[in-house]
Amino acid sequence: MASKFMKIFVIGFTLSIATAFAQDNKNHSEFIDGVYKKCLTEGTTYQLLGELCEKFPNRLSGSPGAEKAIAWTKEVMQKYEFDNVFLQEVMVPHWVRGEKEQASIATGSSKIDLAILALGRSVATPAEGLTAEVIVVKSLEEIENLAPDKVAGKIVFYDEPFAQEFANTFRGYGASVQKRVAGASRAAKLGAVAVVIRSVGTGDDDFPHTGSLRYDEDAPQIPAAALGAHSADKLAKILQKNPKAKLFLKMNCQTLPDVLSYNVIGEIKGSENPEAIIAVGGHLDAWDTGQGAHDDGAGVMQSIAALQTLKSLSYKPKHTLRAVMFINEENGLRGGLKYADLAVENNEKHIIAIESDAGGFTPRAFSFKGADSSVAKMQNWIAYFPNNTIDAIRAGHGGADIGPLNKADGTPVAGFIPDGQRYFDFHHSPADVFSAINKRELELGTASLASFIYLIDQEGL
């Protein structure tokens, strides 16, 4: 009898666990279906991003545009009646482009204008510009092998194409971007007077792609700029015919003193464990070219809209949900660093920090940096997402802005991974405008973030 009773008990217990699990599964699936439907039919991300791009297209750290965008995103979250909306003070670098850059090359009796953008943090040319012969190199490695007398007094042209061979464009970017970051100082050490690079971008067009450089302390600071792909083609062709042709560059950029700026934060308070935070964010600053639509207007608007979507579905989170608009990702990361400092100082407890900073494209995956057991657990969640939205949750990185928090206190971090094939057509270039955004793709990103936050809030890591 005891054994029979035990058997019934075990069967009953197993069934009740199975039923509860099935119920959870059904509830999660239904809730997440509702999130996607809400975003696809009544989503506000697209309209918010349109407004951000139109009103504050130029919002590089320290600029008037950034200041206004900070005030506006705060207002947006206040209008949505988030429980708590506040700013975090942070000093940011203040680099300005000045008047539009000029580049041209004389060939025979004619002058060919080239499309360029100064690289972020670059110094200016002399006020009247500079003119010099050009030496073409294919890579950072190639320039190391050149004798200084081949380089001294010249402009170095890094004519390296984007590494298209990788299915993952971010790997291609990683393999191609070092010349942008380190090319100026390497050339300067050999006596170069300036550098131009073939833009680190995938498009077959003439949009120059800017981005930060880093000057070494032991090298003179020389001007550096990116050329549009077609302009780089033209320059290469002209130099092949006439290696003595001289390139003219005029750049007016400069670094002004640091200025006070802010991270913008909005919270929905948790009902059970309000001290435990699930943070989601992107960066509000953007390069002063295009409108920062994909990089990273999409991510900041999705972060706000993800919380607003849960709110509009009357979801009462167990833990505090926080949308964070980080400042200064592009040329300093000061916002991310300050956020981490304050989290430690205030003894905040983050369950996770999630970043959306890979464009407003169709969702594919989340990457996660934390315990292996969490990755395994999350992989069971893939079934809750509609097919061809979130198809994978993999071990990987979080994002630039949340890296410092992960480093400071070990907070697990996750990155939203939309499809990346078109990202580097737009990244850091005048092509990164609102018309390059597809509404459904953008709203599906919001739905994916909201669903992921919901699952973490419900199930933990």
Binding positions for a copy of itself, rule: CB under 8 A: 36-37, 40-41, 164-169, 202, 204, 362, 364-365, 386-389, 391-392, 394, 417, 419-422, 425, 438-441, 444, 447
User: Which CB, 85 or 417, lies closer to a copy of itself?
Assistant: 417
Minimum CB separation of residue 45 from a copy of itself in Å reads: 14
Of 305 and 324, the one with the shorter C-beta distance to a copy of itself is: 305
157 vs 361, beta carbon nearer a copy of itself: 361
**Distance, first Cα to last Cα, the chain:** 41
Minimum distance between the CB of residue 170 and a copy of itself, rounded to whole angstroms?
10
| Shortest distance in whole angstroms from residue 165 CB to a copy of itself | 5
Percent helix, strand, coil in the chain, to 5, is: 40, 25, 35
Query: Can you tell me the distance from the alpha carbon of 170 to that of 163, in angstroms, rounded to the nearest whole number?
Result: 10
User: Is 205 strand, coil or helix?
Assistant: coil
Residues in the chain: 461
In angstroms, what is the minimal distance from the CB of 392 to a copy of itself? 6
Shortest gap between Cβ of 420 and a copy of itself (angstroms)? 7
The distance of closest approach from Cβ of residue 341 to a copy of itself in the complex, given in angstroms and rounded to an integer, is 34
Contacts of 422 (CB under 8 A, 6+ apart): 202, 359, 361
- Minimum distance of a copy of itself from residue 315's CB (angstroms): 19
197 vs 181: CA distance, rounded Å: 11
Structure tokens at 350: 């983050």
Which one, 154 or 294, has the nearer CB to a copy of itself?
A: 294
Contacts 24+ apart (CB under 8 A), 38-41: 38/309, 38/312, 38/313, 38/447, 39/305, 39/309, 39/443, 39/444, 39/446, 39/447, 39/450, 40/440, 40/443, 40/444, 40/447
Give the Cα separation of 58 and 458 in Å (integer).
Answer: 39
Residue closer to a copy of itself, measured from CB, 139 or 438? 438
Positive or negative, the Cα torsion across 328, 333, 339, 341?
negative
Could you write out the DSSP letters of every residue in 46-77? HHHHHHHHHH-S---TTSHHHHHHHHHHHHHH
Q: The tokens of 160 are what?
A: 């390296």
Element (H, E) at 277: strand 273-283
441 counts as catalytic:
no
Residues 6+ apart with CB under 8 A from 407: 340
Residue 254 or 388 with smaller CB distance to a copy of itself:
388
Closest approach, Cβ 38 to a copy of itself, in A, equals 9
The residue assigned the tokens 């940011």 is 92
- Residue number, 70 or 447, with CB nearest to a copy of itself: 447
Asked if 317 and 268 touch (Cβ cutoff 8 Å), the reply is yes
Neighbouring residues of 108: CB distance < 8 A, sequence distance ≥ 6: none
**What token pair was written down for 203?**
């498009």
Of 449, 270, 274, 265, the residue nearest 342 (C-alpha)? 265
Rg (CA), the chain: 25
Q: Which is nearer to a copy of itself, 189 or 364 (CB)?
A: 364
Our CB check for a copy of itself shows the closer of 166 and 215 to be 166
Residue type, 360: G
Q: Which listed residue (101, 160, 329, 348) is catalytic?
A: 329
> Least distance to a copy of itself from the beta carbon of 173, Å?
13
Task: Tell me the pairing of strands 155-158 and 194-198.
Answer: parallel
Catalytic positions, written as ranges: 329
